[in-house]
Amino acid sequence: MRIGLLGVGRLGASHAETLRSLPDVRELRIYDADIARAREIAAKVGATAVDSVDAAYHGADAVVLVTPTDTHATLINKAIAAGLPTFCEKPIAMGLPETKDVVAQVKRANGRLQIGFQRRFDAGYQAAKRELREGRLGTVYSFYMTSRDRLPPPDAYIKTSGGQFKDQVIHDFDITRWLFDDEVAEVSADGSTLGHPTYEAMQDVATSAVLLKLRGGAIGAIVAGRHNEAGYDIRVEINGAKDTIAIGLDPRTPIRSVETDALPLGGPAYPSFFVRFGDAYHAELAHFLRFARGQADNPCTAADALEALRIAEAAGRSWREHRPVKLSEIA
């Protein structure tokens, strides 16, 4: 397959290496607004750097988008109009109207668009989902999720990220829907700029806590942080009537872990998300190639991305207005 890869920042550069490692990829064309960076990464992985979006799309069998969020909708629509299967990192767009427009465009064109929520491909999350589907936990009463980055991104990134709920916690919102096969009914959120006062002017937070109530009645708590020098820390605990399981916990915990490969005894934190989710990113892109060829179903649709964004919008509104927000309020 001939793949056009757009955007080779940290994640895009990692995707470039992954794509070149996949046997199905015989040609990789890389475009980045920083041409020098595109050439550097292309030389490193054995790909071809091109100088325009059109050159990356021309003759491609599929495209992978890892560009800044404010470019996603335009690039997706261009690819779908050209009949190109498309992989795009989350989110589709910052706002609901633009996201809905893309969802509608994909539907009208009968296009193929897979959104990058890599936790769906992580072995621990998949093991937990199997146990939930098999009913081994019984009625799920509650769950707890932790999402902490090792170091905060630059302020320039924060300004354009859409805020912590849309940029960071949106992964937890998506995986909640996927794990429990249920929808969020109500959201309560709060946040703090402690240690990061510059976030105040950007109308963002560095640490947040979100309480979710699912339609089925389960209660979930999510705590997120931009700064945790102990490492990149992603964990989940799920409490059911029959059992309690965990994803991402140290093997010394008394709670049963669903992962067969235990984490290092030093603790559950990793030096980067590339280490924590390296296998998941690989599996995600390998699945996309099968999806692009029509050999697999879409594991994460544009409609899924829209629903995760609705939850993020509700969390932002709850934080700003200091009140619970029902998802029915988010059109």
- Tens-digit pLDDT profile for residues 177-209: 999 999 999 999 999 999 999 999 999 999 999
Cβ atoms of residues 40 and 16 within 8 Å: no
Over residues 150-166, mean pLDDT: 92
The Cα 69–Cα 92 span in angstroms is 7
228 and 163, same structural domain?
A: yes
Q: What is the DSSP string of 207-265?
A: EEEEEEEETTS-EEEEEEES--TT-BEEEEEEEESS-EEEES--TTSSSEE--SSPPPT
DSSP string, 126-165: HHHHHHHHTTTT-SEEEEEEEEE-SSPPPHHHHHHS--HH
Q: How far apart are CA 303 and CA 308, in angstroms?
A: 9
Average per-residue pLDDT in the chain? 93
pTM of structure: 0.93
**Do residue 235 and residue 189 come from a single domain?**
yes
Domain total of the chain: 2
- The DSSP symbol for 296 reads S
> Partners of 174 in the beta sheet?
none
Q: Is the pLDDT of residue 255 over 70?
A: no
Q: Are 257 and 246 in contact (CB under 8 A)?
A: yes
Q: Which helix or strand (DSSP H or E) is residue 52 part of?
A: none
**Is 128 in the same domain as 243?**
yes
Q: Does residue 32 lie in a domain region?
A: yes
> Is 278 within the bounds of a domain?
no
The pLDDT confidence band at residue 257, using thresholds 50, 70 and 90, is low
CATH number at residue 31: 3.40.50.720
The yes-or-no verdict on residue 254 having pLDDT over 50 is yes
Q: Assess if residue 279 is contained within a domain.
A: no
Indicate if 186 and 145 belong to the same structural domain: yes
The answer for residues whose C-beta is within 8 angstroms of residue 122's C-beta and 6 or more apart is 247, 277, 279, 280
Distance CA 106, CA 103 (A): 5
Residues 6 or more apart from 170 whose CB is under 8 A from it? 90, 91, 308, 309, 311, 312
Chain segment 7-42, per-residue pLDDT in tens: 999 999 999 999 999 999 999 999 999 999 999 999
Whole-number Å distance between alpha carbons of 289 and 1: 8
Report pLDDT for 249. 73
pLDDT at 256: 66
In a domain, 45, yes or no: yes
Q: At 184, which amino acid appears?
A: V
Could you tell me if 95 and 132 lie in one domain?
Answer: no
Please tell me whether residues 19 and 154 are part of one structural domain: no
Joined together, the tokens standing for residue 77 give 């629509």
- 100, 15: one domain: yes
Secondary structure (DSSP) of 1-49: -EEEEE--SHHHHHHHHHHHHSTT-SEEEEE-SSHHHHHHHHHHHT-EE
Pairing state between β 219-225 and 62-65: unpaired
CATH code, domain carrying 153: 3.30.360.10
* Pair (99, 134) in one structural domain: no
| pLDDT score, position 286 | 98
Query: Are 145 and 256 in the same domain?
Result: yes
Q: How many CB atoms lie within 10 A of CB 52?
A: 10
Report which of residues 149 and 270 the model is more confident about.
Answer: 149
210 SS3 class: strand
Q: Residue 265 — very low, low, confident or very high, per pLDDT cuts 50/70/90? A: very low
Nearest to 64 by CA among 32, 96, 104: 32
**Domain of 106, in residue numbers:** 2-118+284-299
* Domain assignment present for 87: yes
- Residue 29 in any domain: the answer is yes
Coil/strand/helix, residue 111 = coil
11 with 110, same domain: the answer is yes
Residue 268: which pLDDT band, with cuts at 50, 70 and 90? low
For 211-251, the pLDDT digits (tens) are 999 999 999 999 999 999 888 889 999 999 999 999 987 55
Task: Identify the band that residue 274 occupies on the pLDDT scale cut at 50, 70 and 90.
Answer: confident
Q: Looking at residue 266, what is its pLDDT?
A: 41
* 103 touches 153 (CB < 8 A): no
Distance CA 2, CA 283 (A): 18
Which residue reads 């009914």 in tokens?
185
Identify whether residues 132 and 163 lie together within a single domain: yes
Instruction: Give me the count of residues in the chain.
Output: 331
**205-217 b/e (C-beta count within 10 Å ≥ 16 → b):** bbbbbbbbbbeee
pLDDT for the residue numbered 206 = 97
242 and 263, same domain (yes or no): yes
How far apart are the C-alpha atoms of 288 and 290, rounded to whole Å?
5
Is 177 domain-assigned?
A: yes
Q: Is residue 290 part of a domain?
A: yes
Under 8 Å between Cβ of 177 and 282: no
pLDDT at 48 over 70: yes
Give the pLDDT confidence of 89-110 residue by residue, as tens digits.
Answer: 999 999 999 999 999 999 999 9
